């Protein structure tokens, strides 16, 4: 089944009771039992099992080629539950360019239950292999492309090294989506998504997901999903399912527009550097072509003149709304150091190459000529 067909039909059969082609939104928190402990198909309480959520989870698993998927109330809710699966004192090796909320959660876990997280630039897989040979790492956590510097991790090489070291390889696939990248096919064990972003696609829902290569891992985390309770509501599940149905259409438009914006920025004399995996100037452009089928809708850039030049530029944009989040049909723009990544100390940000003047674009699906004109007009 090809992707656009899979997005509509994968795990999404018509409702068996009525034939409804859209999954019903079951607004219930509990279910009537025939007798004490005698349920209908295991439905006893909606935190444990819910029919709308089950359809979303089947769809997510189909998109990523997994053995099972779990939906959560947010991407950080998914990560929190995943971290709870680790024992006290476990070691995590994470890429050093991370979403600020992910970094904040790793640091909270370190302080409160002794989880040890070490950060490493994973753009060179040999660096990761050497680190893993030291032993003692239980989980390797990749964002690829990273947020916001759009660095790539070689999923195949790092997953293989993780397997040899006895560590679980986890990939945050939020930026690329399963349309452009399938980490489980490349050897990863678990895929994480903020379904708030491209999977939902319309800036109207918050959610998260984990997708698993192995059924046993899925079952273990399913128990934790129920125990921790960070589940999405039925309407949230429906909205993500609605977004998934047009994921391929939207991602093609996002990528086409992002490349147009990236090339316009790169050609402008007021721009210091542009980060986009689809540009030949990106240091990992060849890896992007190998492990991705397209380059996504995210672009980062640094203007000449630093923070003040960036603030002036942001104030002049018309079609790019100044806002956090990403992946919606509308174009968004932000200054990560002042917004989404403020929870990372300034010294840490700068050590990793995240300057105060860096700008992150989530390029939407508007007409690309309008977006290019908006950017070039704001640059002056």
Annotated catalytic residues are: 47, 99, 172, 197
End-to-end Cα, the chain, rounded Å: 47
Which residues are within 8 A (CB) of 356 and not within 5 positions of it... i.e. 6 or more apart?
Answer: 306, 307, 310, 335, 337, 338, 346, 349
The dihedral sign for the CA sequence 128, 279, 357, 206: negative
Q: Which residue has the tokens 């989530």?
A: 362
**358-362 and 298-303 beta bridge pairing:** antiparallel
Helices (H), 96-200: 100-113, 125-132, 155-164, 177-180
Closest to 261 measured CA to CA, from 320, 325, 175, 327: 320
Which residues are within 8 A (CB) of 197 and not within 5 positions of it... i.e. 6 or more apart?
Answer: 174, 175, 325, 326, 327, 328
Contact 223, 212 (CB under 8 A): no
CA 76/CA 192 separation, integer angstroms: 10
Q: Within a 10 A sphere around the Cβ of 245, how many other Cβ atoms?
A: 16
Closest to 60 measured CA to CA, from 248, 225, 208, 233: 208
Closest to 247 measured CA to CA, from 87, 60, 21: 60
Cis amide bond preceding 148, omega within 30: yes
Q: Indicate the helix (H) or strand (E) that contains 375.
A: helix 368-379
Closest to 12 measured CA to CA, from 51, 70, 50: 51
């Amino acid at each position: 089944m090809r992707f656009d067909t899979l997005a509509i039909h994968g795990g999404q059969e018509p409702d068996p009771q009525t034939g409804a082609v859209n999954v019903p939104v079951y607004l219930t928190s509990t279910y009537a039992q025939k007798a004490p402990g005698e349920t209908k198909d295991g439905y006893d309480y909606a935190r444990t099992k819910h029919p709308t959520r089950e359809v979303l989870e089947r769809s997510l698993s189909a998109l990523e080629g997994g053995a099972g998927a779990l939906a959560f109330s947010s991407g950080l809710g998914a990560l929190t539950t995943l971290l709870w699966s680790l024992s006290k004192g476990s070691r995590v090796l994470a890429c050093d360019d991370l979403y600020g909320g992910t970094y904040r959660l790793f640091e909270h876990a370190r302080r409160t239950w002794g989880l040890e997280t070490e950060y490493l630039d994973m753009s060179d897989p040999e660096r990761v292999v050497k680190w893993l040979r030291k032993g003692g790492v239980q989980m390797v956590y990749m964002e690829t492309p990273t947020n916001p510097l759009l660095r790539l991790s070689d999923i195949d090489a790092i997953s293989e090294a993780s397997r040899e070291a006895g560590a679980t390889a986890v990939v945050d696939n939020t930026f690329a989506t399963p349309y452009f990248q399938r980490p489980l096919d490349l050897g990863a064990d678990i895929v994480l998504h903020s379904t708030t972003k491209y999977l939902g696609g319309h800036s109207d829902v918050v959610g998260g997901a984990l997708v698993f290569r192995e059924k046993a891992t899925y079952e273990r985390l399913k128990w934790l999903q129920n125990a921790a309770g960070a589940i999405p509501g039925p309407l949230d599940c429906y909205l993500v399912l609605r977004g998934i149905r047009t994921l391929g259409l939207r991602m093609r438009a996002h990528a086409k527009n992002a490349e147009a914006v990236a090339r316009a920025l790169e050609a402008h004399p007021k721009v210091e550097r542009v980060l986009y995996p689809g540009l030949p100037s990106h240091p990992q452009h060849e890896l992007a072509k190998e492990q991705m089928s397209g380059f996504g809708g995210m672009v980062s850039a640094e203007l000449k003149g630093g923070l003040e030049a960036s603030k002036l530029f942001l104030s002049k944009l018309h079609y790019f709304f100044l806002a956090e989040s990403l992946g919606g049909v509308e174009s968004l723009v932000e200054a990560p150091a002042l917004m989404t990544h403020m929870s990372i100390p300034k010294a840490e940000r700068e050590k990793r190459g995240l300057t105060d003047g860096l700008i992150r674009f989530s390029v939407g699906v508007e007409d690309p000529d309008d977006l290019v004109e908006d950017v070039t007009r704001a640059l002056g």
